[in-house]
Amino acid sequence: MNDTHDASEGGAGAAELQQSATGTHRRPTLLIALIPIVGMAVFLGVGYLAFGLNAEPMIILSAIVAGIVARSLGWSWDEMIDSVADKMRKTWPAILILVCVGLLIGAWMAGGTIPMMIYWGLKLISPKFIGLTALFVTSIVALATGTSWGAVGTIGVAFMGVAIGMDASLPLVAGAVVAGAYFGDKMSPLSDTTNLASMITQVNLYEHIANLLWTTLPAYVASAVVFLFVGLSTSGAGGVSSSTVEGMLVALDSGFEFNLVILLPVLVILAGSLLRLPTIPVMLTASAVAMINALAFQGIALQDVFDAIVNGFDLEMITRGRFDAAAGGEDLATLLNRGGMNSMMGTLLIAFCAIAFAGIVDVTGSLQVLVERLLSGVRNTFGLVAATVVTCLTTIGVTCNGQISIILPGEIFHPEYVKRGVHPKVLGRTIEDSASVIEPLLPWTAAGAYMAATLGVPTIEYLPWAVQNWAAVLVALVLAATGLGITRLRGRDAGKEERSELPTTT
């Protein structure tokens, strides 16, 4: 088998030499390699950021520029399409997972699983330790729903109301809400960005999430310690409550039937994760259990249950007159009216466009040229991780788009991590640490603008308190410098990607 493998590699090398000798395909210079990247920066920076145009056409225009460059270097249209198709083939399993995520969220909403988790999360609010409680409860909601924006727009707003009522620090509470929302989003198998990072680095979803704990957990603990210290240093506020929170509790209690069976889908997901079972069958099983719960306990019609998994859950599906809309219907609708397979189409469209761009750029060797220049002075794992961090921060700062800032660095650095014997899950973790959770800390990004407008606190004011978000980058660099949590490949073959049982140092 080894002889065959070596021979095939030798054949590929010979073909490469032959192409080079005939001049069919030319290797791009650094200047030419930069053209597609600069083109994307201009289209997204000007079109998307300055004029508010949709990101997808801007990426397609960038792909056209990349195609012109590829054609000038001797690559045919068929070769470009083959490269794009190859990248699509590699990401197809994760694309199916994203669709299943939408299905699962709709089913869990209809079955009462997510509403029950939100209900008991709201019960934990403590006025004295509002920062710590906001961090914890928002984490639960974001973890259950897989959306940081939804958690901030509902539970986050409720906590801001509590903070105003007790005259607490609004930037502190806003920072706790943002930190908790992005922690839960990052650790949730329902999150689109978490699935994208897993997809683009070709790492199993649950393995990716488990590996995130190396950086995410220390940053989260640091956040909790900060808010605990602030709470201990603050005199008790007494029995302050929020009418928004109370209204949501009444509405949830009147609209859903809660019992222990409702949490069975969560146990299915946890068991599947621990047993490392295939992701899609586990998600479908958990969704099926939630659909049965919707029929048996929530009184939702079969047609509405199927509509929930396709188009998303809607509170109007709840029957038997149990839902008290006046108590907190609008707030719950903002949080619960989501899910469905169609809800993932926007994320998938951006992914398709970005993969098309990456595939065309990759066929020319432009990415290799840029990576070689970027990493020319890198001699160890710390330099590799630091280069990834800089690239991700630059990408999120220029494109202002979380999905693009995951896909492009993932495409660029994946071969280099494998080549240097570092497991791609370290790449996925680093991308999330320096792109996904940094986005809401930049005032000019969509996430930053949304958080500031929704919470009523300027980004620059809540930034210091969003410890979870910026501390993860520092932890990532420390781990890279010490070698702790850096998993290595036993073989250099990308197809093997076998990991060591224990982390090794650089």
Would you say residue 382 has pLDDT above 70? yes
Per-residue pLDDT at 494: 44
Question: Could you tell me the sign of the dihedral formed by the alpha carbons of 378, 383, 384, 387, in that order?
Answer: negative
Per-residue pLDDT at 3: 38
Partners of 488 in beta bridges? 422
Please answer whether residues 441 and 469 qualify as being in contact, where contact means their C-beta atoms are separated by less than 8 angstroms. Answer: yes
What's the token pair of residue 75?
């690559």
Average pLDDT over residues 144-160: 75
Q: How sure is the predictor about 458, in pLDDT bands with cuts at 50, 70 and 90?
A: confident
Which of helix, strand or coil describes residue 208? helix
Picking from 31-45, 220-234, 330-344, which range would have the lowest pLDDT averaged per residue?
A: 330-344
* Contacts of 21 by beta carbon, 8 Å cutoff, 6+ apart: none
Which contacts of 35-40 are long-range, i.e. CB under 8 A and separated by 24 or more positions?
35/65, 35/69, 36/62, 36/65, 36/66, 36/69, 36/357, 36/360, 36/361, 36/366, 37/361, 37/366, 37/370, 39/65, 39/66, 40/65, 40/357, 40/399
* Contacts of 349 by beta carbon, 8 Å cutoff, 6+ apart: 56
Please answer whether residues 409 and 395 qualify as being in contact, where contact means their C-beta atoms are separated by less than 8 angstroms. Answer: yes
Give domain limits for the chain: 93-344
Please answer whether residues 233 and 168 qualify as being in contact, where contact means their C-beta atoms are separated by less than 8 angstroms. Answer: no
Picking from 167-181, 275-289, 304-318, which range would have the lowest pLDDT averaged per residue?
A: 275-289
Q: Which residue has the higher pLDDT, 322 or 196?
A: 196
Average pLDDT over residues 364-391: 84
Please provide the average confidence, as pLDDT, over all residues in the chain: 80
3-state helix, strand, coil in the chain (%, to 5): 75, 0, 25
Average pLDDT over residues 141-161: 76
Partners of 267 in beta bridges? none
Cα–Cα distance for residue pair 485/412, rounded to 1 Å: 22
pTM here is: 0.66
Which of helix, strand or coil describes residue 105? helix
Q: How sure is the predictor about 503, in pLDDT bands with cuts at 50, 70 and 90?
A: very low
Would you say residue 26 has pLDDT above 70? yes
390-439, pLDDT tens digit by residue? Answer: 888 887 876 666 777 888 888 888 888 998 889 999 999 999 999 889 98
b/e 450-459 (16+ beta carbons within 10 angstroms → b): bbbebbebeb
Per-residue pLDDT at 70: 93
Average pLDDT over residues 39-63: 84
Average pLDDT over residues 240-248: 65
Would you say residue 277 has pLDDT above 80? no
Average pLDDT over residues 118-127: 72
What are the residue ranges of helices labelled H in 146-201?
148-151, 157-165, 170-187, 192-200
Identity of the highest mean pLDDT range in 12-26, 108-122, 413-427? 413-427
Cα–Cα distance for residue pair 65/69, rounded to 1 Å: 6
Phi/psi-derived region of residue 378, left when phi > 0, alpha when psi is between -120 and 50, beta in every other case: beta
Cα–Cα distance for residue pair 181/143, rounded to 1 Å: 8
Would you say residue 1 has pLDDT above 80? no
Which of helix, strand or coil describes residue 499? strand
Per-residue pLDDT at 324: 54
Per-residue pLDDT at 213: 93
Cα–Cα distance for residue pair 165/237, rounded to 1 Å: 10
Please answer whether residues 455 and 174 qualify as being in contact, where contact means their C-beta atoms are separated by less than 8 angstroms. Answer: yes
Would you say residue 94 has pLDDT above 60? yes
Per-residue pLDDT at 330: 63
Cα–Cα distance for residue pair 304/5, rounded to 1 Å: 53
341-375, pLDDT tens digit by residue? Answer: 998 787 788 778 888 887 888 888 887 787 778 88
Backbone dihedral angles phi then psi of residue 127, each to the nearest 5 degrees: -60, -40
Average pLDDT over residues 74-97: 84
192-209, pLDDT tens digit by residue? Answer: 788 889 988 888 888 999
Map tokens 């979380």 to a residue.
Answer: 402
Would you say residue 121 has pLDDT above 80? no
Would you say residue 172 has pLDDT above 90? yes
pLDDT above 90 covers a percentage of the chain that reads 29
Best CA proximity match to 408, nearest among 144, 36, 18, 138: 36
Q: How sure is the predictor about 167, in pLDDT bands with cuts at 50, 70 and 90?
A: low
Cα–Cα distance for residue pair 139/187, rounded to 1 Å: 9
